[in-house]
Amino acid sequence: MSRLTPQVREKAIEIANALLAEGMDEGRAIRIAIARAGRWAERRGLQVRLDE
């Protein structure tokens, strides 16, 4: 998550926490959260990664 922009990282953490609360495995929750946060950012025209 360190390469994500702060706004996207914050969204990914929010999503990951929701998935963890539902009982999902931590590694899987993080991977899914990063992907979903990336799609969320792209739909809004936001930069996803710091190196882009």
pTM of the model as a whole: 0.91
Are the beta carbons of 23 and 52 closer than 8 angstroms?
A: no
State how far the Cα of 4 lies from the Cα of 35, in Å rounded to an integer: 11
Q: What is the pLDDT of residues 9-36, one digit of tens each?
A: 999 999 999 999 999 999 999 999 999 9
Q: Between helices 26-43 and 6-21, what is the axis angle to 10°?
A: 140
Judged against a pLDDT cut of 80, whether residue 52 lies above it is answered with no
| Res 51: pLDDT | 86
